[in-house]
Copies of this chain bind each other. A is one copy, B any other.
Amino acid sequence: MKSALITIGDELLGGYTIDSNAAWIGRKLMDIGIRTVWKLTVPDQKDDIVNAMSLAAEKADVVICTGGLGPTRDDITRDAYCEFTGAELEMDKQYLDELSARFERRGVTMPESNRSQGLVPDRGSVIPNPKGSARGMFCSVDGRWICILPGVPAEMKGMMEESVLPELGDMSTSDLFVTNIRTTGVMESKLHDLLDDAMNGSPVSIAFLPGFSGVDIRLTSEDESVVAELSRGVYKLAGKYIYAEDWVTLEESVGECLREKGVTLAVAESCTGGLLGDRITNVAGSSDYFLGGVVCYSDEAKINLVGVKRETLDSFGAVSEAGVAGPDGGTEEKPVGLTCFGLDDGANPFSRSVTFYRDRRFNKELSAQTALNSVRLRITGQI
């Protein structure tokens, strides 16, 4: 089964909002064997949305639309859905009462503009929204399954998990075996060359998926054994770069290692400004192994919070400890992007300097990634 996604909203086209919903939906669908082959973003205009629904229904069996279900005047996804499916709207008085009561429980009078969220179509089904006021809808049209969901991520996710994915799981008949192998610390082209021998002659479909700070290798086939065989080859040729499989993040993988070994972690950051701690604490349960950290952005913080000596800073400069994130402040010897890492497990301290040649944000991301990866490599005995 194939899916097409339609995300709706001027805010997505104008770049006010990054379309993270579509990525999340794409992953969840792949987990139940539904491949997303098309993704379209259109303005909050009824004609554009109806047009997009028609195009998407030509490309895929399942069409999922998000956005444009809020109460404001530019939210017309529901009208487009009715035009495309031929449904008529009627007022669901019971839901309107519930909605009004829900606002009251939070001590707020329901804004007038929320009334329209009580409207429901006379065909297909309503998708309940446990976390918000905008409900979704789904139905089948000419053998294509289509649904509309709100664009607020937490609401959309709740509705996907509780209603849409179970519904689609029953419909899906996929026999594809997929293994997603996640690497970091290696360029896509080098990885490609490393794996060339293993890939040649393998009947497995292989995709290199470069992400923000690593490359995923996705192996797909209808034959489980050939996927397993190629997977072994990938581990043999590129094992030291592999940190996880499937959708496991580096911070989750590191957290799992720490928990297994009964080791706790504390961090001292400079140029990453807190990003390292932020990533570590994105994992539920990270308080089991993460004690905390300090962000030493100024010389004073370096001296007072982690005990760097004033003389060290005077002799070597903060860059020997901290890196310069950019865009200003680099020198020929110590360019913007030079980042120093240190790791102390009480037994065998490790330090290393790397220069990243990206913009400020990317340098921060790569620095945090490298630091996290160092923890992984140390715990697993690879450095």
Contact = CB atoms under 8 A, between A and B. Distances in A.
Given A112-B193, A281-B297, A296-B292, A12 B39 contact: yes
Interface in A269-306: 269, 271-278, 280-282, 284-287, 290-298, 300-301, 305
B189 A71 contact: yes
A223 interface: no
A192 B111 CA distance: 9
A72 interface: yes
Given A18-B23, A294-B293, A364 B193 contact: no
A162 interface: no
Contacts of A114: 189
Contacts of A352: none
B278 A113 contact: no
A297 B305 contact: no
A16 interface: yes
A176 interface: no
The dominant DSSP class at the A interface is mixed
A281 B273 contact: yes
B16 A216 contact: yes
Contact of A10 (B24, B207, B325): B207
B295 A293 contact: yes
B14 A72 contact: no
A25 interface: yes
Contacts of A16: 23, 27, 180, 209, 211, 216, 218
Nearest to A191: B72
Contact of A359 (B154, B272, B298, B362): B154
Nearest to A356: B154
A297 B301 contact: no
Contacts of A341: none
Contacts of A280: 273-274
A251 to B, nearest CB: 10
A305 B292 contact: yes
A357 interface: yes
Contacts of A325: 281
Interface stretch (A30-38, A141-149, A234-242): A30-38
B282 A364 contact: yes
Interface in A119-159: 131, 151-154, 157
Interface string A323-355: 001111000000000000000000000000000
A316 interface: no
B297 A292 contact: yes
Interface of A: 9-20, 22-28, 30, 35-44, 48, 55, 70-74, 111-114, 131, 151-154, 157, 180, 188-190, 192-193, 207-212, 216, 218, 266-267, 269, 271-278, 280-282, 284-287, 290-298, 300-301, 305, 325-328, 357-362, 364
22 contacts: A11-B209, A12-B26, A12-B39, A14-B26, A18-B18, A19-B23, A38-B40, A38-B42, A70-B188, A72-B208, A111-B190, A113-B193, A154-B358, A154-B362, A272-B281, A274-B274, A274-B293, A277-B295, A278-B364, A284-B326, A290-B298, A292-B301
Given A17-B209, A274-B281, A274-B295, 14 more contacts: A13-B38, A37-B43, A38-B40, A71-B189, A71-B192, A152-B210, A273-B280, A274-B274, A281-B297, A284-B327, A284-B328, A292-B294, A292-B295, A293-B297
